[in-house]
Amino acid sequence: MINIQNLQFYYENKQVLYDINLQLDSNTITGLIGPNGAGKSTLMRCISGLEIPQQGSVLLDNQPILDNPRQSYTKIGYLPDIFGLSENLTVLQCWTYAASARGIQDEQLKDTLISTAKLLNLTDKLNDKVAHLSRGQKQRVGIGQVIIHRPKLLILDEPASGLDPEARYELSQLFKQLRDEGMTLLISSHILSELDEYCTHMLVIQEGKIKQHKTLESYEQIMHHSILDATLPILLRFSEISHEAKILIEQAPHIQNLQFNQLQVTATISSQAQCRVELIRYLVQQQLPLIGLEPLKESLLQSYRNSLFQGEQ
């Protein structure tokens, strides 16, 4: 999908990006994280074709985006952290202009506008002026402008900044839906707990260099590991834990590194599904009040903190 090779970028005499080599696969959502001034926005602008690097190239579907920018832009949607909307235009007018600017033909326009409004839950706001919309609704209008042509790659810089919890939740659901419909997303945000909800990959950048780029496993992927020598962190929940119950739990098969915290127990277990089956069978046979067993997924914040102490990728 996106392949970046030996990218270096300077603002006048100050180097901002250093030898960036990166690949973003199709149908993924990558969270781009790092401290302020790390080069995140510059990297996104280079990928979008809005900055020309002094060295290296950005390939979209194996073609350098700057070789034919007009063709490349038909596949890219980019929304910066600060974007402008005309307060006096209606949502319909904003999107009509955006659609025309992106080459949507007149005979396709109506269906495109209707489907975009449904996707963004703005059908009842099409004739409202932007000035009368909430901040979350304005954010969705902005996203609508950059996805009106259904790009293959969507790049968003701090899209949830300043939004209330409900608007942030709606955005997270939208991003997952866009990915399910075939888009690849690159999203920069400082709100790591929200990136955790929908990202499939994490990209850490620090001082203009890639610190880490890794896949984030979902709970489903964690629970379906089948590597013989792999172990999984798990959480066991009980309705009560007596002294006798604690002894029985410590004797349970396949689990190690037990830590008790009131009615919860964390441990590690073999990744083989059969081991979890035997563990649950044992706990039930011992008549222990087990109410839940779930994987412990490393959070994006934990992954980010760990990456700061690792060598450069």
pLDDT tens-digit readout, 128-159? 999 999 999 999 999 999 999 999 999 999 99
CA angle 287, 289, 291 (to 5 degrees): 135
Neighbours of 157 (CB within 10 A): 21
Going by C-beta distance under 8 Å and a sequence separation of 6 or more, which residues neighbour residue 165? none
At 288, is the secondary structure helix, strand, or coil? coil
The answer to whether the CB of 208 falls within 8 A of the CB of 261 is: no
Question: End-to-end CA distance of the chain, in Å?
Answer: 20
Q: pLDDT tens, 202-217?
A: 899 999 999 989 887 6
- The CATH class of the 2-219 domain is alpha beta
Residue 11: the pLDDT is 92
The answer to whether the CB of 79 falls within 8 A of the CB of 156 is: yes
**CA–CA gap between residue 253 and residue 219 (Å, rounded):** 22
Question: What are residue 63's DSSP bridge partners?
Answer: 60
Q: pLDDT tens, 261-294?
A: 999 999 988 878 888 899 999 999 999 999 999 8
Residue 313: the pLDDT is 41
**Six-digit token string for 163:** 């939004």
Q: What is the CATH number of domain 222-295?
A: 3.30.70
DSSP string, 22-38: EEE-TT-EEEEE--TTS
Q: How many helices (H) and strands (E) does the chain have?
A: 11, 14
Q: pLDDT tens, 28-69?
A: 999 999 888 999 999 999 999 999 999 999 999 999 999 998
Global pTM reads 0.74
Q: pLDDT tens, 104-115?
A: 999 999 999 999
Domain range summary for the chain, segments of one domain joined by + = 2-219, 222-295
Q: pLDDT tens, 216-244?
A: 765 445 455 444 456 778 899 999 999 99
